[in-house]
Structure 1
Amino acid sequence: MYENDYASFVSRRIIEICIKRGDISIYELSKISGVKLSTIQNIVHCNTKNPGIQTIHKIANGLNMTISEFLNCPEINKYEFKDEEIEEYVKNS
């Protein structure tokens, strides 16, 4: 799970914030964000490689953060998408 790809960074960010906010469980995050539990589980377990911006937005709002605050961490800020990732995203959009 802890690789150096975008999905891993997003997963770690969710876990980090939930711990800092008083050990919010994935179930609780689902309830406060309005995102299905299975969706959050898939993101946290890196089964979802490219979580959508709407999903990230809902998760951030559930954590009383803006999407900018959620995505503002060194790992994500330094991340550079590879051509294959961009092509995959375009293909699946």
Structure 2
Amino acid sequence: MKEQKILSDRIKYLCEQKNISYYILAYRSSVPMTTLMHILDCSTKNPGIFTIIKICSGLDMSVSDFFDAEEFADIEYELE
């Protein structure tokens, strides 16, 4: 599974678990709704770390907790 899809699925899962809409997440995290939607539909290939930090803040969780999921453990990184 591509990294973008894993990231997107994780955000969607956490929003569902916390019962918050994407609009509320965008508002709480100060990430523009269009940016969030591009991450969720995987059209953003590499969201910046500061965007991820803001999203984690909007989800009221640490970055380490966000990435502490089985899906992220199997990602293999290739250097180009």
TM-score exceeds 0.5: yes
Partner of 2:66: 70
Size of the alignment, in residue pairs? 80
1:82, distance to aligned residue in structure 2 (A):
2.4
State the Cα RMSD in Å: 0.9
Structure 2, unmatched stretches of 5+, are none
Partner of 1:50: 46
1:16 equivalenced with 2:2 (yes/no):
no
SS for the counterpart of 2:42 is coil
Structure 1, unmatched stretches of 5+, are 88-93
1:46, distance to aligned residue in structure 2 (A):
0.1
Structure of larger gyration radius: 1
Alignment partners' CA distance in 2, 1:20 and 1:42: 21
Which 4+ residue blocks in structure 1 deviate beyond 6 angstroms? none
* Greater length-normalized contact order (CA 8 Å, ≥ 6 residues apart): 2
TM norm structure 1: 0.82
- Choose the corresponding residue for 2:33, options 20, 25, 37: 37
TM norm structure 2: 0.94
1:48, distance to aligned residue in structure 2 (A):
0.6
1:78, distance to aligned residue in structure 2 (A):
1.6
Q: How much identity, in percent, do the aligned residues show?
A: 39
